[in-house]
Amino acid sequence: MRSVLLERVVWIGFIAGAVALGILAATIDAAEKEVAAVKVASSSSASPKSATGETYSLRYKLRKGEEIRTKVSQLATIETTISGSTQTTQMISLSTKLWRIKSVDTSGKITFEHLVENVDMRNEMSGRQEVHYNSQTDKAAPPGYEDVAKSLNTPLAVVSMDTAGTVLSRDEKHRPAIDASGSVLVMPLPKEAVAIGYVWMLPGEVNVPLEDGSVKTIQTRQRYELEEVKDGIATISVETQILTPVSNPKIRSQLIQRLWKGHIRFDIDAGRMISQRTDLDERVLSFSGPESSMHYVARFTEEMVR
């Protein structure tokens, strides 16, 4: 029973965060402290690949009136074992994300609305009937999906940023409760032209509730590295890192959904991300007793609709 309840909590969080996963929102729960202004802590990394000295300027180049759509998918399997009982939950979320560019001023400041146009979500839990919601074919959302349905085709936020992806302002219209992707709304870019092997960071925080009612603040960061440029397409590795030492498995079980790593492809000439893929495969032991375990396997992909 405890295992079923735990997976139900995880699934509720997945539903609440599905829209956020489609739009790469930067919140893990309502209490998480947002980074109000992106502060990129950059450091160059010596690499034989950058021996030529060639550098690349990575900048967003968006135009007023553009509508940039991407197809987003997340697949996840969560297996939990508590007191000898094992339960498995499988989840699929497909969505269409939209950035609607409202203005670009002479200084390069870009203001856009971001929305999710549609979703197709499935959840199958051990011993329970599959739950399915397709916003394009279902007239009403099943229980648990009501907030997702209400948030579709309406601006979730109005964001202003500079050409390096520094968020200058962000007006939240609808704030999803959880984002398990570990991603940020806008990928920050280096302020200067950089060579292959260059590394830059985006710091962040996660507030984890404890059993005694207090909250523990966990320091995190997104690590980016320019790995390759070919035919005008930059390949950038991305990894979410937990900086605060965490030995308590109960706390770690609340963090494993953040530990994504993968690659982003950025079109330098067009000035926009064209695809990304991140994966997660993490296991936590003894998070709810000595014989308990949680195994979380997931994949997140996003690709621009041309």
- Per-residue pLDDT, averaged over 201-213, amounts to 91
pLDDT at 280 over 90: yes
- What's the pLDDT at 95? 96
- What's the pLDDT at 183? 55
pLDDT at 23 over 50: no
DSSP sequence for the chain: -HHHHHHHHHHHHHHHHHHHHHHT---SSTTPPP-SS---EEE----GGGTT---B-------TT-EEEEEEEEEEEEEEEETTEEEEEEEEEEEEEEEEEEEE-TT--EEEEEEEEEEEEEEEETTS--EEEETTT-SSPPTT-HHHHHHTTS-SEEEEE-TT--EEEEEESS--S---S---SS----SS-B-TT-EEEEEEEEEEE-TTS-EEEEEEEEEEEEEEEETTEEEEEEEEEE-S----HHHHHTTGGG--EEEEEEETTTTEEEEEEEEEEEEEESBTBTT-EEEEEEEEEEEE--
Dihedrals phi, psi of 150, to nearest 5 degrees: -65, -25
Confidence of residue 306 (pLDDT cuts 50, 70, 90): confident
pLDDT at 246 over 60: yes
Domain ranges in the chain are 2-304
- Per-residue pLDDT, averaged over 122-140, amounts to 94
What count of other Cβ atoms lies within 10 Å of the Cβ of residue 263?
A: 17
Percent over 70 (pLDDT), the chain: 80
- Per-residue pLDDT, averaged over 115-141, amounts to 95
Q: Bigger pLDDT: 112 or 180? A: 112
Average pLDDT in the chain = 84
pLDDT at 204 over 60: yes
- What's the pLDDT at 53? 80
- The answer to whether domain 2-304 has CATH 2.30.30 is no
- Per-residue pLDDT, averaged over 161-174, amounts to 91
